[in-house]
Amino acid sequence: MTNNKLFIQALKSEITPNIPFWYMRQAGRYLPEYREKRKTAGSFLDLCYSPDFAVEVTLQPLRRYHMDAAILFSDILVVPQAMGQHLEFKEGEGPLLTPVNTAEKIETLNLNNFHHHLTPVYETVRKLHQEIPKTTALIGFAGAPWTVATYMVGGKGSADQALTRLFAYQEKKAFQKLIDLLVKATSEYLIEQIKNGAEVIQLFDTWAGNLPDDEFQKWAIEPVQKIIQNIRKFYPEIPIIGFPRGAGCRYPDYIRITGVTAVSIDTTMPLDWVRDHIQPLCPVQGNLDPLLLVSGGQQLENRVVEILDHLSGGPFIFNLGHGIVPQTPPENVAQVSEIIKQYKRK
Ligand code: CP3
């Protein structure tokens, strides 16, 4: 029997009657109703750990744009927090963690309180599973170990992840230990999300592209391969989307070795190349520039159609090449959503 959800059909490589779509970071500050809820909840982390609030902000964009998928509202950094690392979000500064940048500090991390800490997230998934529309798929997610480790070691976001890349060379054993712990934690976390109703998983590896080739194999491919093997022992059929942002010509290796079901492609990927070299391997999701979504107008419309024309010949899910940014006009998101809904495959 075919699944009645367009998004799941596309992930099974079926050519769907319409192109399914959703947007990374579709819940967030560009929506006035999100800003309102965040104020009521108190802070961003309060939102993440209050199931009723988290369910509400997950559903907000669906009410406006009727995407084919809802993504659990949470953050990739709740995992290090659940492992015992201090985390806060300072207004306008992004995440701040107490750096875990020595072998001794890595030894202090543990999974003793891990699932207990994440119980509210599992409850959010359970509630969402009951509340989302019947034709909408529910996406669970986690950060891939490399990207999460860059925040854990560096203590905050950075443009080049230099501290973490250096640490991986100089303290290779300790860094491997951290990655192994993240593989275990992330596998268990995602298995719990699936148990509670997540139908698809996405692994975000936002900073994969800054790794040299040999390090990409070691820190972006191998840990994700292990996580997928761990999940598939329990859920052999679960669709898993990988997003190794900036992987470039290494996308095909990433797909073949990790065993992902589909990939999300970033804005740098040439559409012809994706059609010829990636789409024959697996379904593709992407890749509109979030800044063009801010800019809008005819240029936006032209590019949306260009992406659709190039990739709708194979299994395809429309998305952005990275997350929606706060200054995005909500009416531009409406405009793009309408074009996709009206689009007919050639
Ligand atoms: O709507 C969705 O996509 C679901 C929720 C989601 C969030 N973060 C909510 C969020 C998801 C899937 C993420 C993933 C995430 N978080 C990534 C990987 C994807 C990417 O964007 O590269 C990363 C690297 C993080 C870590 C993180 N969280 C950073 C660097 C920041 C600060 C930057 C910013 O946009 O403020 C966050 C905060 C964050 N995560 C917000 C949201 C809605 C903004 C918080 C607020 O309301 O102030």
d(CA 256, CA 63): 37
* DSSP code for 75: -
Each residue's pLDDT tens digit, 110-158: 999 999 999 999 999 999 999 999 999 999 999 999 999 999 999 999 9
Q: What is the pLDDT of residue 90?
A: 87
User: How large a percentage of the chain has pLDDT more than 70?
Assistant: 99
> How remote is the C-alpha of 152 from its chain's centroid?
18
| Atom 32 of ligand 1, residue of closest alpha carbon | 94
> What separation in Å is there between the alpha carbon of 154 and the centre of ligand 1?
17
Domain boundaries, the chain: 6-342
Q: How many residues does the chain have?
A: 346
Q: What is the pLDDT of residue 91?
A: 81
| Atom 31 of ligand 1, residue of closest alpha carbon | 94
138 in ligand 1 pocket by Cβ < 6 Å? Answer: no
Least Cα distance to 318 among 282, 291, 283, 294 occurs for 283
73 close to 124: Cβ distance less than 8 angstroms: yes
User: How large a percentage of the chain has pLDDT more than 90?
Assistant: 96
Candidate from 76, 77, 190 with most ligand 1 atoms within 8 A of CB, to mutate: 76
Candidate from 24, 25, 64 with most ligand 1 atoms within 8 A of CB, to mutate: 25
Task: Using the atom order of ligand 1, give the atom closest to the CA of residue 61.
Answer: 1
Task: Indicate yes or no: pTM above 0.75.
Answer: yes
Checking if the pLDDT of 326 tops 70, the result is: yes
Looking at the domain that runs over 6-342, which CATH code has it been given?
A: 3.20.20.210
Instruction: Annotate 35-72 with b (16+ C-beta within 10 A) or e (fewer).
Output: eebbeebeeebebbbbbebbbbbbbbbbeebebbbbbb
Task: Using the atom order of ligand 1, give the atom closest to the CA of residue 326.
Answer: 35
Q: What integer is the mean pLDDT of 69-91?
A: 97
* Predicted confidence band of residue 45 (pLDDT cuts 50, 70, 90): very high
Checking if the pLDDT of 231 tops 90, the result is: yes
CB atoms within 10 A of CB 170: 9
| Atom 45 of ligand 1, residue of closest alpha carbon | 44
Beta pairing partners, 135: none
CB atoms within 10 A of CB 334: 12
- Residue 130 makes CB contacts below 8 A (sequence gap 6+) with 197
76 in ligand 1 pocket by Cβ < 6 Å? Answer: yes
| Atom 8 of ligand 1, residue of closest alpha carbon | 75
* Edge-to-edge strand ranges of the sheet holding 316-320: 69-71, 137-143, 200-205, 240-244, 262-264, 284-288, 316-320
d(CA 20, CA 316): 8
Task: Using the atom order of ligand 1, give the atom closest to the CA of residue 58.
Answer: 1
> What separation in Å is there between the alpha carbon of 313 and the centre of ligand 1?
32
In the chain the beta strands, taken as DSSP E runs, fall at 69-71, 87-90, 94-97, 137-143, 200-205, 240-244, 262-264, 284-288, 316-320
87 in ligand 1 pocket by Cβ < 6 Å? Answer: no
Q: What is the pLDDT of residue 230?
A: 98
Candidate from 75, 124, 152, 241 with most ligand 1 atoms within 8 A of CB, to mutate: 75
d(CA 236, CA 258): 14
Q: What is the pLDDT of residue 92?
A: 80
> What separation in Å is there between the alpha carbon of 57 and the centre of ligand 1?
13
Checking if the pLDDT of 1 tops 60, the result is: no
31 in ligand 1 pocket by Cβ < 6 Å? Answer: no
Each residue's pLDDT tens digit, 243-275: 999 999 999 999 999 999 999 999 999 999 999
Q: What is the pLDDT of residue 316?
A: 97
Q: What is the pLDDT of residue 346?
A: 76
Q: What integer is the mean pLDDT of 185-214?
A: 98
144 in ligand 1 pocket by Cβ < 6 Å? Answer: no
Each residue's pLDDT tens digit, 298-313: 999 999 999 999 999 9
Q: In whole numbers, what is the pLDDT of the chain averaged over residues?
A: 97
Range in 30-34, 88-92, 188-192 the model is least confident about = 88-92
Cα distances from 159 to residues 150, 209, 210, 311, in angstroms, run: 11, 11, 9, 30
Q: What is the pLDDT of residue 345?
A: 86
d(CA 54, CA 49): 7
| Atom 28 of ligand 1, residue of closest alpha carbon | 75
Checking if the pLDDT of 2 tops 80, the result is: no
CA quadruple 118, 121, 127, 132: dihedral, nearest 10 = -150
Here the tokens at position 170 are: 């100089």
47 in ligand 1 pocket by Cβ < 6 Å? Answer: no
Counting Cβ atoms within 10 Å, is residue 298 exposed (0-12), middle (13-18) or buried (19+)?
exposed
DSSP strand pairing (94-97 vs 87-90): antiparallel
Task: Using the atom order of ligand 1, give the atom closest to the CA of residue 141.
Answer: 12
Task: Using the atom order of ligand 1, give the atom closest to the CA of residue 28.
Answer: 43
Cα distances from 103 to residues 83, 113, 171, 185, in angstroms, run: 16, 21, 7, 19
